[in-house]
Amino acid sequence: MKLFKILVLFITLQVSAQQGGMWIPSLLKGMNENDMQALGSKLTAKDIYDVNHSSLKDAIAHFNGGCTSEVISKQGLILTNHHCGYGQIQSHSSLEHDYLKEGFWAKSLADELPNEGLYVEFIVRIEDVTDRVLEGVTADMTEKEKQAKTDGNSNRIQAATKKEAWQDTKIKSFFKGNQYFLFVTERFTDVRLVGAPPTSIGKFGSDTDNWVWPRHTGDFSIFRIYADKNNRPAAYSKDNVPYKPKHFLPVSLDGISEGDFTLVFGFPGTTQEYLPAVAIKEITEELNPSNIAIREAALKVIDANMKASDEIRIQYASKQARIANAWKKWIGENLGIKKSNAIAKRQALEAEFTEAVKQKKLENQYGNLLSELEARYDEFGAIDVKRSNFVEIFVRTNELMQMMFRLSQMEAAAAKGEDTFNKARTAVQSRIKGTLKDFNTEVDRGIYEAIMPFYTTNIDPSIYDKTAFTNVDNAMKVLEGSSAEVIEKLHQDAAYAYAKPFIDDFYTNVEPEFQEKNTAINALETQYMKALMEVLPNERYYPDANSTLRVTYGQVRGYGPRDAVYYEPVTYLDGVMEKYVPGDYEFDVPQKLQELYAAKDYGRYADANGKLPVCFLGTNHTTGGNSGSPAIDAHGNLIGLNFDRVWEGTMSDMNYDPEICRNIMVDVRYVLFIIDKYAGAERLIKEMKLVHPKK
């Protein structure tokens, strides 16, 4: 027993020594390559990223700007999460063809469904352009001047970059503006829906299980990239053909065991790992609680209505999931920050920093940074919360106010001439049509009544009876005519007249105050980042996530979130059946899956213990945007699909703690089992390259 504990401690220490971080794929040579190999990887830095030859990175695509996907066949088949393809699955669904409820499996290429607006993007190459972006930037410049300089430099660099006609470029800032990288990208816009399990598999456990371990969700969906006859990106056309990728991931049938190496490769969205303690305090004590309260109020209304009506359930499913997701994450984040003593730990790091600044006699340069940050954050909380409340109400949760916000932007565009106005109008028209397609006036009115009090005491639910913007035809009529005519009609609309003063106040008071204070903080944080790296050079620094391609590595590993509780790293189909509640909207299990379970008909997808694996845990450092990222084994094969993190560890966005931060992946054998045994979509299995790396 004692030996076991020492062993666990030893392993944990090893883990904390080498994991955490979201690394730039073109810079893995050296420390990262060594770390990975120490964790069991057989991959070289070049296997992962290579400009001249195909490498793992050529199989990874940003999915619609918010998720990750990976190519798994030489015919452009891609895998992502069910929750990433949710909008597409929903948009093809109706009460008659409810693909959310029943699942969808295209029988042939011809049955694969096109998706307007959907795209995937590959990274062709990455270049460090820091010196060229920062050329001419001097310390005495204002933030505005610096920005203008770096913007100008960036535009020139991009214009001078060698690339093919169908490729794009972008430049992104790293380490808070201390480093810049250029990305050459390739974007495909003909991406078709190939398959999706029913929600009772793809979203099994729904919000009760979201962010939670043990987990039993088959969170995957399948798409295919189409290209023109020359294998290049092209708008949707019947004549397009399946894309032939530079690389695709073979799929391992051998499964995982605790301690196995795992690499997660994808597009993490945003992290804030280098915040001063005072900022973590502001976020967890002011910002998060206020956001949590607003969403909780909105969710109460939505949930009650979804339970009462199937039509509303379908209309609001996607919105509800989006709103509930961040709400629950913030709650977990606050708990985790507390439990891991993140603020005290950050203060200790700051004490160390201050001491090192003294010893290196850099007080003139860096001595005031932390106290200035503290002073700035003290004044920042109130406006940060106010702005965030506005965004929650007028952008994220109330759709009538959201339409009013968009309409006000259209009105503003009129000042720039009729052409600009017309463009803005077209955009607003399509947005409003989209919104009203899945809209219920009473639900939205209920949300309005529940959340508006967080912003004002001026509440008038009768605007819902008077406005044109609860009905598409009426709304479109208001938008007909010259800009002057449209604006006149708008001003007579009850909802617009109500919302406009709030929106004006936001633009004249809230936003400018927020921007001014935020810019000052950002400037200080840029200096602090630079100072940290200079003064404490032995820490492991990796840039915050910024929606660019990153590698994070770790191992399959369980965790102990509380006294006397230890979680195993693998779940099985048995656990699905343990959670099964007949007819429940979260925990129902499809008949067919029950039959396969009863017959233990798992084909070649069972584990050595005879059970069918469903999900597993790793120590990979992931965040929102990593959903759909491949989990890759020591040899470069696909072993799973990342889709979530454990609740106790969601604070990894500010404080990665190897003790309790775990990412959740669906085992690729479960994905294969569902495609093959459950859906009978053998044609897809045949397309893949199934391998046995352990044999």
State which of residues 115, 467, 623, 655 lies at the interface with ligand ASP (CB under 6 A).
623
Structural tokens at position 320:
């509800």
Number of Cβ atoms within 10 Å of the Cβ of 253: 18
Structural tokens at position 6:
């020492």
Q: Which of 271, 384, 284 is nearest to 336 (CA)?
A: 284
Encoded one letter per residue, x for contact with ligand ASP by CB under 6 A and - for no contact, window 624-663 reads: xxxx---------------xxx------------------
53 has catalytic annotation: no
Site size for ligand ASP (CB under 6 A): 9
66 vs 367, which CB is nearer to ligand ARG? 66
653 touches, from ligand ARG, ligand ASP, none (C-beta below 5 to 8 Å by class): none
626 touches, from ligand ASP, ligand ARG, none (C-beta below 5 to 8 Å by class): ligand ASP
552 vs 627, which CB is nearer to ligand ASP? 627
Structural tokens at position 262:
């795992």
| Cis status, amide bond into 242, omega within 30 of 0 | no
- Min separation Cβ 204 and ligand ASP, Å: 15
207 touches, from ligand ARG, ligand ASP, none (C-beta below 5 to 8 Å by class): ligand ARG
219 has catalytic annotation: yes
- Min separation Cβ 83 and ligand ASP, Å: 6
57 touches, from ligand ARG, ligand ASP, none (C-beta below 5 to 8 Å by class): none
Q: Which of 62, 83, 216, 621 is catalytic?
A: 83
- Min separation Cβ 623 and ligand ASP, Å: 5
- Min separation Cβ 557 and ligand ASP, Å: 16
By CB under 6 A, is residue 153 in contact with ligand ASP?
Answer: no
Question: Which residues are near ligand ARG by CB under 6 A?
Answer: 83, 203, 206-207, 210-211, 321, 325, 624, 627, 643-644
25 touches, from ligand ARG, ligand ASP, none (C-beta below 5 to 8 Å by class): none
At residue 553, the 3 state secondary structure works out as strand
DSSP annotation of 635: T
- Min separation Cβ 266 and ligand ASP, Å: 8
Structural tokens at position 78:
């891609």
Q: Which of 173, 290, 627, 652 is catalytic?
A: 627
Q: Burial level of 581, CB count in 10 A (0-12/13-18/19+)?
A: exposed
- Min separation Cβ 659 and ligand ASP, Å: 17
- Beta-sheet pairing, 690-691 with 251-252: parallel
Q: Which of 10, 9, 15 is nearest to 620 (CA)?
A: 15
197 vs 625, which CB is nearer to ligand ASP? 625
Q: Which of 50, 207, 219, 444 is catalytic?
A: 219
Left if phi > 0, otherwise alpha if psi is -120 to 50, otherwise beta: which for 350? alpha
- Min separation Cβ 321 and ligand ARG, Å: 4
* HSE value, Cβ hemisphere, 13 Å, CA-based, for 160: 9
Considering only CA atoms, give the Rg of the chain. Answer: 26
In angstroms, the CA 667 to CA 607 distance is 11
23-26 own/partner pairs: CB under 8 Å, 24+ apart:
23/542, 23/550, 23/551, 23/552, 24/126, 24/174, 24/181, 24/542, 24/543, 24/548, 24/550, 24/551, 25/49, 25/57, 25/123, 25/126, 25/265, 25/549, 25/550, 25/551, 26/125, 26/126
35 touches, from ligand ARG, ligand ASP, none (C-beta below 5 to 8 Å by class): none
In angstroms, the CA 632 to CA 262 distance is 6
319 vs 376, which CB is nearer to ligand ASP? 319
321 touches, from ligand ARG, ligand ASP, none (C-beta below 5 to 8 Å by class): ligand ARG
**Residues engaged in binding ligand ASP (CB under 6 A):** 622-627, 643-645
Catalytic residues: 83, 219, 627
